[in-house]
Structure 1
């Protein structure tokens, strides 16, 4: 369940962040900021659904999924081919997220 929440949160965050990018860097209509802000609010709400006792742990683990989503965005939406450093960094971050999510905890 937490992975699905993180994937949905990544999509919402990317949508909101790209809306700001599109307005400020691509000259799109400032009206695009309204759905972008809504998307960012949905992102924040979704992260509250992550199974974690601590916000910091939930956000830290989410970081790996977020980086994966941006690499996919780069490749699919912007036609930028990820290089070996993009992929290596992404894998390192995903391993870190896995340790944070599923590492054994003591009470």
Structure 2
């Protein structure tokens, strides 16, 4: 159950951080205004809180592993929200990053 909880927290953190960054991007780069930027800042703050819900107690490990989730999640967000089509190198890179997440977070430790 701990791995399932950890994966759910990573997914929620990804939505908060990537969504927050996207909202700020929309507010600034697409001229959608201060409301979008403010919503993005709030979502980014929520990401900071959500990351603390990971069952592992080590900040460095959580953030390092989340980096891989962020890479893959950003590509997925771009595909779903912006119509981005990753090439094979994007996909291979994301898979390498996710493999790193598995090693960092879920490798057996003594």
Q: What TM-score do the two structures reach when normalised by structure 2?
A: 0.90
- Give deviations 1:44-86, integer Å, cap 9, x for gaps: 1000001212101011111222222111111111111110010
- Identify unmatched segments of 5+ residues in structure 2: none
Query: Are residue 59 (structure 1) and residue 63 (structure 2) matched?
Result: yes
- Identify unmatched segments of 5+ residues in structure 1: none
Aligned to 2:49: 45
Q: Where in structure 1 do 4 or more consecutive aligned residues deviate above 6 Å?
A: none
Query: Are residue 81 (structure 1) and residue 88 (structure 2) matched?
Result: no
Checking the alignment, whether the CA contact within 8 Å between 1:51 and 1:58 is kept in structure 2 is: no
The root-mean-square deviation of aligned C-alpha atoms, in Å, is 1.1
Aligned residues: 106
Which of 92, 99, 104 does residue 95 from structure 1 map onto?
Answer: 99
Larger deviation, residues 64-73 vs 39-48: 64-73
